[in-house]
Structure formats: structure tokens, C-alpha cells
């Protein structure tokens, strides 16, 4: 199948999905498509006003859609714990956790807990949230954790002596590290999920028109815009990873066109560093130490 679209999403009635960063861009399109397929969708967002506006828009697109909001700030472990506690109180079963929210190429800054912003938000925040919700996923047959990475993972390096870029900071290096961490996390999570009905899958949107690119330097942003595809297309790899019955744990989906920047979603390869199991295990241990979250596996 080379032209997978939202038409190929199976009926999702009775399934529950939690999507981080779902009020805009890729997250919004993912939420809207899942709601149209019958999913009960939780928009996990930092700004509740923007979340409410997104929920209202989805409801207009799909009358009768089941949409709810959950406040979540991935730059704060306190917020992540509070959100997880609220979600656990309202959902005995979670079919899909889509780790979509992220920041890209930001100036040097830190999360509320002192982590480098891109690594802390894109990786550690989602690592903590997934761990705190994992028992609900494990209790749900055929559940999935889908984490959104990027072709930018190819410029990432893991330096355990300076994970938070206390020394020489580069926007691209920090972004690449966070997206490489997303893949190392996905592949290690899948190894630890063996023997369960839950799978871990990764996806990337290619070059997609979204607010993520707002921090790119002017010339790079201009070049990037030439290869951008609509956000609706950029969301398709995530949607396929989340719903296609043929998807297997540990797979990675992205656009099948030029340089994986455009096109319909297919299974793609990530680089050699993303498959380094020893680094993945060490990153897992360090992530548990930094977040204080251990997994029930």
C-alpha cells in the first residue's frame, strides 16, 4: 500500500486516544482524523484556551465527536504528574498514547526542572508521561504508544557527560539529540514490551508546514518551506503508526517521497545510532533517574 490516507483508518469507535500538543498543527490534524474515525480523543495541551478552540473546531468538523481536554505542560514534571493522575482517574483503559508535542531549534533555555528545553520537552517529558500511564495501556488489548521523531534525528548525538548541553549549545544539535532520543526510547520500550499486547511505534512528518519551524533561522526556514507539505499530509505517518492493523512494534513511519520530506506514509529506516541497544538502555536508566519515573515492566 503506497498511498495510505485517512480513508484507510479502521473504525475507531470505543477507542481512547491521548494526544500531546493536539491544539495546533500536526497534533490537531491527528486528533481531528481520529475523532472522525470514532475515537474518544483527549487533547493534552499546555494552553486550555487554545485547546478549547481546537476542540470546538473538531466538533464542527465532526458533529458528535467525543473530545475532552487535559492540561499538560511537558516542561514541568509537576504538571506531567498532575496530568497523569487526572487521566488515570478518568480512564481505566487507554488505547493510544501519541507523544506528538515538541519544540524545534529553540534558543538556549531550560525547562522548569532545569533540563535543556528540547531534550527535556521532546524526550524526558514524554518519557515521564508514558511511564506514568503505561499500566493503563498495558491493561488495554492492542494498545499503542506512538512517538513522533524527525529526520533531524540523523544530526543527533548522545553525550552522557553533557545531556543538557551545559557546554557549547547548538540549536540543531540539541534538536537532533532530542529526536534521536525519541527513537532510542521507542525501540527500547518495544524491547521491554515483548510478551505484552502493547506496542511502541515511531513516526515522523517529513517537512510539514507547522509552528515547529518558527525558530529556524531565516534562510533555513525559506529553504525548508520549499519542501513543506500540508499539515494534513504530515500527520499521516503518525495516523498510520497509530491505526494501521499491519503495523508492528518497533517500526518507524514517514513520508515515502523525496528525502522523506513529502509523500504518503511508509515504513522507513532510522540511522545506525538509533539502533544502539546499549546506548538505549543507558539513556533509559538516566531518564528514570532524571524524571523519577520508573516503568511497571
Catalytic residue numbers, as ranges: 175
Distance CA 105, CA 117 (A): 10
Q: CA angle at residue 96 from 230 to 90, to 5 degrees? A: 120
Residue 175's contacts (CB-CB under 8 Å, 6 or more residues apart) are 104, 105, 118, 122, 150, 152, 155, 156
Sheet holding 199-203, edge to edge: 67-71, 40-45, 16-20, 96-99, 144-148, 199-203, 252-255, 265-267
Count the neighbouring beta carbons within 10 Å of the beta carbon of residue 278. 7
Whole-angstrom Cα distance, residue 187 to residue 109?
Answer: 28
Grid coordinates of 235: 500527520
Q: What are phi and psi of 33, to 5 degrees?
A: -65, -40
How many Å apart are CA 167 and CA 171, to the nearest integer?
13
d(C-alpha 28, C-alpha 190), whole Å: 26
Cβ–Cβ under 8 Å, residues 152 and 179: yes
Amino acid at each position: 500500500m503506497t498511498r495510505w490516507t485517512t480513508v484507510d483508518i479502521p473504525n475507531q469507535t470505543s477507542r481512547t486516544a491521548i494526544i500531546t500538543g493536539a491544539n495546533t498543527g500536526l497534533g490537531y490534524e491527528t486528533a481531528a482524523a481520529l475523532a472522525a474515525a470514532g475515537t474518544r480523543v483527549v487533547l493534552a495541551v499546555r494552553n486550555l484556551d487554545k485547546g478549547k478552540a481546537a476542540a470546538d473546531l473538531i466538533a464542527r468538523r465532526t458533529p458528535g465527536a467525543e473530545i475532552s481536554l487535559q492540561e499538560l505542560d511537558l516542561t514541568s514534571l509537576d504538571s506531567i504528574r498532575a496530568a497523569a493522575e487526572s487521566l488515570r482517574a478518568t480512564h481505566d483503559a487507554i488505547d493510544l498514547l501519541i507523544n506528538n508535542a515538541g519544540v524545534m531549534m529553540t534558543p538556549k533555555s531550560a525547562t522548569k526542572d532545569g533540563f535543556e528545553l528540547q531534550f527535556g520537552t521532546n524526550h524526558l517529558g514524554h518519557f515521564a508521561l508514558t511511564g506514568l500511564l503505561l499500566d493503563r495501556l498495558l491493561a488495554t488489548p492492542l494498545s499503542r504508544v506512538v512517538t513522533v521523531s524527525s529526520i533531524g534525528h540523523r544530526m543527533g548525538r548522545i553525550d552522557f557527560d553533557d545531556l543538557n548541553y551545559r557546554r557549547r549549545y547548538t540549536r540543531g544539535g540539541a534538536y537532533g539529540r532530542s529526536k534521536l532520543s525519541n527513537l532510542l526510547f521507542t525501540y527500547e520500550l518495544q524491547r521491554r514490551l515483548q510478551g505484552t499486547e502493547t506496542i511502541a511505534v515511531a513516526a515522523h512528518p517529513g517537512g510539514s508546514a507547522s509552528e515547529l519551524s518558527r525558530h529556524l533561522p531565516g534562510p533555513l526556514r525559506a529553504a525548508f518551506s520549499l519542501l513543506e507539505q500540508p499539515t494534513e499530509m504530515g500527520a499521516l505517518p503518525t495516523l498510520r503508526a497509530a491505526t494501521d492493523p499491519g503495523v508492528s512494534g518497533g517500526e518507524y513511519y514517514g513520508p515515502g517521497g523525496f528525502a522523506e520530506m513529502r509523500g504518503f506514509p511508509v515504513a522507513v529506516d532510522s540511522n545506525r545510532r538509533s539502533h544502539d541497544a546499549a546506548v538505549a538502555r543507558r539513556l533509559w536508566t538516566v531518564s528514570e533517574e532524571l524524571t523519577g519515573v520508573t516503568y511497571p515492566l
